[in-house]
């Protein structure tokens, strides 16, 4: 483990240590590739959720326009995009 400079905690010096991913996998009793794969999937899901929230919460006028155009006869692209975003359809 990599040791960082010590920091003062009251009268006692406590070394700062960053846990390595290998140590975490070993302590959890899982293979390192499995842990890294799970972390990558969790990060992807997090990014997807954040993008959905930004699209819905921070751009209501964009969503209103998309719904307006989706109601038109030729608005199939907007309807498809709304279904993917809201319903999670492929």
Per-residue pLDDT band for 13 (boundaries 50, 70, 90) equals low
The domain of 76 spans 59-90
Q: Which residues of 54-83 are buried (b: 16+ CB within 10 A; e: fewer)?
A: ebeeeeeeebeebeeebeeeebeebeeebe
- Which pLDDT band holds residue 88 (cuts at 50, 70, 90)? confident
State whether 21 and 7 are in the same domain.
yes
Task: Assess whether 26 and 67 both reside in one domain.
Answer: no
pLDDT of residue 10: 56
On whether both 53 and 66 belong to a single domain, the answer is no
- pTM listed for this prediction: 0.44
Write the pLDDT tens digit of every residue in 19-64.
787 888 888 888 888 888 888 999 999 998 988 887 777 777 777 8
Angstrom distance (rounded) from CA 39 to CA 24: 12
* Domain identity same for 8 and 27: yes
């Amino acid at each position: 483990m990599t040791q960082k400079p010590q920091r003062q905690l009251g009268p006692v010096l406590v070394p700062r240590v960053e846990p390595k991913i290998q140590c975490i996998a070993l302590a959890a009793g899982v293979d390192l590739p499995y842990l890294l794969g799970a972390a990558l999937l969790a990060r992807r899901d997090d990014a997807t959720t954040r993008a959905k929230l930004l699209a819905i919460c921070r751009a209501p006028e964009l969503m209103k326009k998309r719904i307006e155009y989706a109601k038109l006869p030729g608005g199939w692209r907007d309807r498809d995009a709304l279904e993917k975003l809201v319903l999670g359809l492929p």
